[in-house]
Structure 1
Amino acid sequence: MKLKISHIIYLLLVFAILYYPVKITKYHLMDLSYDEILDFGWRGDGCKTKDGDWVDSINCPCGTGLIEPDDSYKISKEGYFYDNDKLFGKATLKKKPSYFSDGGILTGGELEIEHLETGITCYYDSVLD
């Protein structure tokens, strides 16, 4: 009986050691699909008009809140961003988030969402969940 338990523990240890390197390697070799973007947390980082002028948070259609994985947001395969099944804008991933942070809450990802009605672009940074 002892031998079987030690084998199981050994297998679990090997799995744990190999799982993250494979996951991280796969992450760096492949692009994120639009539905995987929402697996990360995103923090609002401001808005700009098409002319490049910053918009204050009161007039920003996106607000400055968080987009979290369990929220009601969706991104279609074409990159259209939906808030509660209402079309909001076009999402563009500028930089993939990292699995590691630099000691803070940011993980290096950059997301832009262009609000279709106003043309204002909202900027987001990826954050730890």
Structure 2
Amino acid sequence: MSVKMKVKNVKKTVRSSNVRVSNQVRSSSSSSSCCHRRDGAVEGIQEAGADLSDLFCQLKNPEAAAKLVRAIRCRNRKVIEDLIGNNCNVVCFFHQGRFACVRIACVFGDCCSVRISFDICVSMGNCSNV
């Protein structure tokens, strides 16, 4: 009888250790556990969508658009950065053919997990002319 008990105990121990191992493997490799983790890049993209949408919506205003065009032509970093908000900054100014351009970089999300850069180019003109 004691032999049977030892066998049962061994079997239970083996089973329970197998269960533990399989649970550990399942929980670390399971796709369901991955779904519950937060992805900072996804949240960063959502934040970028909202902020950049607001930025471009404000450019529907003729005064804001004229201010941006003038700032690009005059290479006025401060005016552009005031218009584009806290998440974005001017990287550089450059010319491309008959256009004056500014490169803008923006960071979004926790730990700056998303970086978006884009260029805005406007036809050359007199810096004070808009």
TM-score, L = length of structure 2: 0.28
Identify the structure with the greater helix proportion: 2
Higher relative contact order (CA 8 A, sep 6+): 1
